[in-house]
Amino acid sequence: MEVISASCKEVSLRYETEVVSVRQQADIFVCELQREIQQRKVLQKGYDKLQEAHSLNQDRVSTQLQEERELEAIRSSHPQLN
C-alpha cells in the first residue's frame, strides 16, 4: 500500500511539474503569436501603401503615354510644329 501511495504521489508530482511546463510553453506561444500578428499588421500596412503608390504610378504612366500619343497625333497632323 505504501508503494502504491508513493508511486501515486510521484505521478502526481510529475503531472503537476509537466502542467506548469506546458502552461509556460503555452504562454510563450501566445506571446510569439501576438508578436507575429503585430508584425503582419505592420507588413500589411506597408504592402497597402506600396499597392497604392504602384496604382498611382500606373495611372501617371498611363496619363503620360496618352498625352504623348495625343502630342504625336497633333505633330503628325501639323508638320509645321516640328
Task: Count how many domains the chain has.
Answer: 1
Is 62 a member of any domain? yes
Is 9 a member of any domain? yes
**Domain of 23, in residue numbers:** 2-75
Task: Write down the pTM of the prediction.
Answer: 0.61
Supply the pLDDT for residue 82.
63
17 burial class (0-12, 13-18, 19+ CB within 10 angstroms)?
A: exposed
Supply the pLDDT for residue 2.
74
pLDDT of 81 strictly over 80 = no
Is 54 a member of any domain? yes
